[in-house]
Structure 1
Amino acid sequence: MVLYSILSRYFPSMKKHSWIILVCIVIALAAGAVVAKSQPPAYTVNSTLLATSLPSFAPGTTTEVAPVSKTSAASLAINDAAEIGTRSVMSFVYQSNPALKTHGLTMDDLLINVTAMNPSPTSSTILLTATASKPANAVLLVNAVANGYVAYKTRQAQDQLILQRTYLQNLYNQYQAQSAQLEKQILSYNNSSDPHIALLTTDRNAVITSMNSTQAQLLQLPSSVHADVFVIQPAKIKDVTPSYKALVYLGVIAASGLLIGLLIWLLMIYLDYRLQTDDQVPEKFGLNYLGTLSKDKEIQPGSIPTAGLAAQQLADISVNLRLTGVLPDSWRAPKGAVLLISSVQPEEGKTTIATGLAAVAARAGRSVLVIDANLRQPATHLAFGLAPNDFGLSGLLRANSGQNLDAAVQRTNIPGVWLIAGGTAIDNPTTLLEESMPAILAQVRKKTDLVIIDGPPLLGGAEASLLATMSDGVAMVVGHEKVALLLKARTILRSLTDTPLGVIMNRVSTRKHNPYYAMTCSDDAAIEDLLPV
């Protein structure tokens, strides 16, 4: 159900901007085709090596010291596959194969175009793959690396054999020299019964035993060794296949185009569901557009604009309240009008709008009462530079239906404008508003031409919705809010009351303001002509 609600809300915008994805894919495919066509032809061929763990035997015996195991062979294959791609191995291969230079191949061709991998952690095979612009070169590359690596490993094994033979020969020579030295010492004694002769003879026999053991190890050494890796499947021309590298390029670029298209598409949907310009208000909401208050650094939060562009725009809004039907055609005491100023969320500037509209109406000769009904966070008195009134609206609500009204009303510094401050904050004022606010409004309508309620945010609690049912009109102050939140706010109000509803855009960049939707009244006389009688 939630998914359906989301899709139904965004589907029109999704459909509207779907062409962006198609265009990005087409452009990406075209670019990919150009890139793919510019790539030289490529051919691929494989060669397979087998890593083995040869058994080793104790000298003079047939007993295996390190028997062959699949695990050790597979480990060798993994290590060999990693070693093949190193610069030292490739340098050996390149230097030992003159045919590579003859065919114009370089060291970089080996490093870049030949890869080695172990197909499986339990496999003892190594798969070599070479790619080249010519089939013959691909075969030459992969076979050169395969055979060259075998030669490289053979050379390593041969070097180890030479080192071992040299070590054993030197050890044998040391034992032989020790034996000759001990024999010479034994012969130096004339008396054959001398006890030193027996000790020296024992030492010489031990040396001879070690010498014979070393000689046996020398005899056991092979004359030559081979590598523990073999080529089991060399590459052949008939095995060469065309490379699909160009298609890979095409696929990657096409996928990138799709991704970019999706990102742009989502961005457009996001922007489509934000209120960017004033002409979107009637289009997206079906609500009355009352006017715009431009972004102005000189207007401080909670202050009252009384001059300049802001004052002129507030005058336009005041006129549009009547022209759009948000307020009735006639409102004068004892039948004063009640206008609720609210917003979707906090910090939208509704207090600035409320107090500014009060100043405009007072300047046109109307008596205006501003009521701070944001009882959770009362602060309208600050805009007028007044001290907080602890009695205020909260005191009136508790005093049962508007008694002591005069004690709650404060005169402001603007002639013709009075204020009922919020008073002491109330955490949950809904019940008090529902019970007592209608009677309070009935009293102030008789004494005031226009009552402006500076209400709480609509989505911050039930108070704004409740106050809307008691008002003649509602002006919703919005910044660049998401359309989804504004639609929710409209739905809430429409479900509770038929009170006329209009939208005022606040803090809007002047370049986004559409003058077609705004009336321009340059002087108070024009305002007074359009205000109700």
Structure 2
Amino acid sequence: MFLLEKQKEAAISRASTITKNRILDTALVHSVPVSPKASKAVLIGAFLGLLLGLAVVFARFLLHKGFHSDEGILSRYPSIPLFGKLPEYEAFQSVGDSAKIKPIVPSDPRSTYGEALRLLRGKLYLDSGAGNAGKVLMFSSAFQGDGKTTVVSQLAVALAKDGKRALLIDADLRHPQLHSAFDCKQSPGLAEYLAGNAKLEDCTRVMTRFDVPLTCLPSGQTPDSPVELIGKERFAELIDKARSEYDYVLIDTPPFPVLSDGLIIARLVDRLVSVIRVGETPRSAFKEHMQGVAEIGCPQALLINGAPTSQGGVYHYHPRSSVRLDLENRVRSFISQFQRKR
């Protein structure tokens, strides 16, 4: 009896699961995928990627604290005489707040940098020949890593290669680098001479490897109080002696007004050359530098380092480069106008 009841229940259960649906037609597969549409997705992705890239570039542009072009620098300081513009020198590498100088190699005369360097040298000749007292120059900057040491070293080599008697003095007694640039001994040098511990002829180095009349006076060992040494009468006497014995005297000095050494050195020179590096020197730091130089009252000139190649003093004579240079000029013009509005 029990089994018969279970059999009836199973029959009732099967009857209740029978579907009443009927297949009216067989489904067909579409020959073209309806979704997702690959071409549309690619276009949307490319557009969003482009917008994101432009947003990142524009954000970096707005947040960057330096000048983006040499035109922006010149428009910001139109009253300061332009001493020259130099493109980026590959042997100079800035790492964070420090700078590493490789041994100086005379620039290729046929290169963009070599041509710009000759223009810079010619400007120096014009200044000194016009009676503007351009024999003794100090090179300073607002920020460590602006390429000041590389610029003054290359200019000294260019002067010596042209037969000029040039003396290069490393007056940056805190962070000296000229001995590294010329691969020579650091001591004895300027510090030992000013302290009265060495004779001048024992402190100078003649750069015979360049086969040119270039003399270098390295910094020597870092003293406890560099300002006191620079402020000694012995330093002023050294500059007077060098003025009479050399055609040009180039002095590498610490950043100003970060350090006060420049206040003392500026009263002994004919011109202070302020080096600013495109894309690196913070605007606020350079503004403070320019204000400090104005208070000194020393004749000043502006040297732009790291200028774009097409602006470094050389014009490329090549038909294919015209479109690229035109585009670069348009971009620089836009950036310069944007900076002026800011």
TM-score (norm 1): 0.42
The secondary structure found in structure 2 opposite 1:280 is: helix
Mapped pair 1:502 → 2:292: no
In the TM superposition, what whole-angstrom CA distance separates every residue of 1:325-368 from its partner, at most 9, and x where no partner exists? 4x56359xxx9821111111112111111111011111221100
Q: 2:67 aligns with which of 251, 266, 275?
A: 275
Q: 1:314 aligns with which of 111, 117, 122?
A: 117
Per the alignment, residue 137 of structure 2 pairs with 339
Compute the displacement of 1:297 (Å): 3.3
Matches of 1:396 and 1:269, distance apart in 2:
48
The 1:313–1:453 alpha-carbon spacing in structure 2 relative to 1, beyond 3 Å, is same
User: In proportion to residue count, which structure has more helix?
Assistant: 1
Matches of 1:383 and 1:446, distance apart in 2:
26
The secondary structure found in structure 2 opposite 1:488 is: helix
The secondary structure found in structure 2 opposite 1:459 is: coil
Query: What is the correspondence of 1:456-467 to structure 2 with a 5 Å cutoff?
Result: 456-467=254-265
The 1:329–1:519 alpha-carbon spacing in structure 2 relative to 1, beyond 3 Å, is farther
Matches of 1:336 and 1:445, distance apart in 2:
11
The 1:501–1:381 alpha-carbon spacing in structure 2 relative to 1, beyond 3 Å, is same
Q: Which has the higher contact order (CA 8 A, sep 6+)?
A: 2
Per the alignment, residue 357 of structure 1 pairs with 155
The 1:270–1:405 alpha-carbon spacing in structure 2 relative to 1, beyond 3 Å, is same
Query: What is the correspondence of 1:411-422 to structure 2 with a 5 Å cutoff?
Result: 411-412=206-207, 413-414=209-210, 415-422=212-219
Tell me if structure 2 keeps the 8 A contact 1:345–1:459.
Answer: no
The 1:495–1:519 alpha-carbon spacing in structure 2 relative to 1, beyond 3 Å, is farther
The 1:268–1:312 alpha-carbon spacing in structure 2 relative to 1, beyond 3 Å, is closer
Q: 1:410 aligns with which of 189, 205, 208?
A: 205
Q: Which amino acid aligns with 1:367?
A: R
Mapped pair 1:429 → 2:222: no
Per the alignment, residue 87 of structure 2 pairs with 294
Q: Which amino acid aligns with 1:392?
A: G
Compute the displacement of 1:267 (Å): 7.6
Matches of 2:61 and 2:231, distance apart in 1:
43
Compute the displacement of 1:508 (Å): 3.2
Compute the displacement of 1:427 (Å): 3.8
The 1:493–1:427 alpha-carbon spacing in structure 2 relative to 1, beyond 3 Å, is farther
The secondary structure found in structure 1 opposite 2:257 is: helix
TM-score (norm 2): 0.63
CA-based RMSD of the aligned residues comes to 2.9
Q: Which sections of structure 2, spanning at least 5 residues, go unmatched?
A: 1-55, 94-100, 316-342
Per the alignment, residue 399 of structure 1 pairs with 196
The secondary structure found in structure 2 opposite 1:464 is: helix
Q: How many residues were matched structurally? A: 244
The 1:396–1:310 alpha-carbon spacing in structure 2 relative to 1, beyond 3 Å, is same
Compute the displacement of 1:404 (Å): 2.2
Mapped pair 1:493 → 2:293: yes
In the TM superposition, what whole-angstrom CA distance separates every residue of 1:95-132 from its partner, at most 9, and x where no partner exists? xxxxxxxxxxxxxxxxxxxxxxxxxxxxxxxxxxxxxx
Larger Rg: 1
The 1:313–1:264 alpha-carbon spacing in structure 2 relative to 1, beyond 3 Å, is closer
In the TM superposition, what whole-angstrom CA distance separates every residue of 1:346-398 from its partner, at most 9, and x where no partner exists? 1211111111101111122110000011101222012112122x221001111
Tell me if structure 1 keeps the 8 A contact 2:188–2:203.
Answer: yes
Tell me if structure 1 keeps the 8 A contact 2:164–2:247.
Answer: yes
Give percent identity, aligned residues only: 22
Matches of 1:374 and 1:298, distance apart in 2:
20
Q: Which amino acid aligns with 1:315?
A: R
